């Protein structure tokens, strides 16, 4: 999902105004060649997130993969790093009605939304909806 978001952004935002946080910077060499700043940041290594989010005004956190407990930890670590970096705006890819949902995927989204709210930053939730 992250690669698709970056490609969409590059249609309207100059590459030199974008920074991406990736687990393996070598895999993002193509973005760096196009002028995007590539930073190493790994949700499983929270110590990497402070430098990955440094000097960022607006941040998109894309929901991680894995079991709910792992995702809650990863997302909370990312939000905490964003707060330490004084990010002014956080967007997050959540699910529809995360605060009320009983769906098995809802707990990490609910926990992340709550963590973002506690930061007091401007924020938005990008919630996915499915039509039946």
Strands 19-22 and 37-40, how do they pair? parallel
* DSSP category for residue 49: H
> What's the CATH code, domain 2-127?
3.40.50.720
Query: Tens-digit pLDDT profile for the chain (132 aa)?
Result: 788 999 999 999 999 999 999 999 999 999 999 999 999 999 999 999 999 999 999 999 999 999 999 999 999 999 999 999 999 999 999 888 888 989 999 999 999 999 999 998 876 666 554 443
- Distance, CA of 119 to CA of 43 (rounded, Å): 19
pLDDT value for 131: 41
- Gap between the terminal Cα atoms of the chain: 23
pLDDT value for 99: 87
How is residue 110 written in tokens?
A: 């609910």
Boundaries of every domain in the chain = 2-127
Phi then psi dihedrals of residue 24, to 5 deg: -125, 95
pLDDT value for 96: 85
pLDDT value for 126: 63
- Distance, CA of 75 to CA of 116 (rounded, Å): 10
């Amino acid at each position: 999902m992250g690669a698709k978001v970056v490609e969409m952004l590059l249609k309207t935002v100059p590459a030199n105004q974008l920074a991406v946080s990736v687990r393996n910077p070598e895999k993002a060499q193509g973005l760096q060649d196009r002028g995007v700043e590539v930073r190493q940041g790994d949700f499983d290594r929270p110590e990497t997130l402070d430098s990955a989010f440094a000097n960022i005004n607006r941040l998109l956190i894309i929901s991680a993969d894995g079991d709910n407990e792992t995702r809650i930890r990863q997302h909370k670590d990312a939000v905490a790093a964003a707060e330490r970096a004084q990010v002014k705006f956080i967007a997050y890819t959540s699910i529809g009605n995360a605060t009320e949902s009983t769906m098995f995927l809802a707990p990490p989204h609910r926990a992340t939304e709550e963590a973002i709210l506690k930061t007091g930053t401007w924020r938005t939730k990008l919630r996915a909806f499915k039509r039946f």
